[in-house]
Amino acid sequence: MKVLILCTGNSCRSQMAHGFLQSFDPGLTVCSAGTNASGKLSSKAVEVMKEAGIDISHHTSDSVDKYLNDQWDYVITVCGGANETCPAFLGKVKHRLHIGFDDPSHATGTDEFIWSEFIRVRDEIKEAFYNLYIHEIKPQL
């Protein structure tokens, strides 16, 4: 089973979702990409995932172009707010899903508030992708 997770920058939300989904089933092929890939991971995303027991520090921030010629069972967009545009994937895919999350890297305020936003979004991603795995992906394996 091949799953591609998309967002704009491929530095935060898609990386967290990638890490969680891969942790639920190491047998899955999980990749993540962005329409405007930043080329680096958010250090806060790496840190908040490490706190949850998952190391994403080895992930790379890749352009969606890298994956357009591959076939995918699922392509999942994770962009959130109304001011964001979800990427369109024009490649070969069986199931297209959207599971939106706020971008914690846009949070402003105190360091404590920003950190709490990363934790909140991380936990929302974990729950949503676990439910997806249990109810949709695992039954097909």
Catalytic residues: 7, 79, 86
Residue type, 15: Q
The tokens for 139 are: 């039954």
Tell me the HSE value of 73 on the side-chain side, using a 13 A CA sphere: 13
CA distance 52 to 83: 29
Please tell me what DSSP assigns to residue 116.
H
Burial of 40-72, coded b for 16+ CB within 10 Å and e otherwise, reads ebbebbbebbeebebebeebebbebeebeeeeb
